[in-house]
C-alpha cells in the first residue's frame, strides 16, 4: 500500500534567500513540483532529501 503522501516530497521552502528575505514559507508543490513564491516571485522547487 502506498496511499500515503510524503510531505517531504511536495513542499518547498522559501525564505527569500538571505538579505532581502522574508519569513520562511512552505509552499505546496504537489501539483507540478514547482511553484512561485508569493513573497519574492521566485520559482521554487521541491527540496527533497535536504535537511
Ligand atoms: Zn520567497
This prediction's pTM: 0.62
* Separation of CA 3 and ligand 1 centre (Å): 30
* Separation of CA 2 and ligand 1 centre (Å): 32
* Separation of CA 44 and ligand 1 centre (Å): 8
Residues whose beta carbons lie less than 5 angstroms from ion ligand 1: 14, 16, 37, 39-40
**CA atoms of 29 and 10, how far apart (whole Å):** 5
User: pLDDT 10s per residue in the chain (51 long)?
Assistant: 544 544 456 888 899 987 778 999 999 888 788 889 999 998 888 766 555
* Separation of CA 1 and ligand 1 centre (Å): 35
β-strand pairing of 11-14 with 25-28: antiparallel
Task: List Cβ neighbours of 3 (8 Å cut-off, separation of 6 or more).
Answer: none
Domain ranges, ordered by start, for the chain: 7-45
Amino acid at each position: 500500500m502506498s496511499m500515503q503522501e510524503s510531505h517531504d516530497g511536495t513542499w518547498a521552502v522559501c525564505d527569500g534567500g538571505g538579505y532581502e528575505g522574508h519569513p520562511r514559507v512552505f509552499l505546496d508543490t504537489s501539483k507540478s513540483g514547482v511553484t512561485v513564491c508569493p513573497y519574492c516571485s521566485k520559482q521554487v522547487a521541491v527540496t527533497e532529501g535536504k535537511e
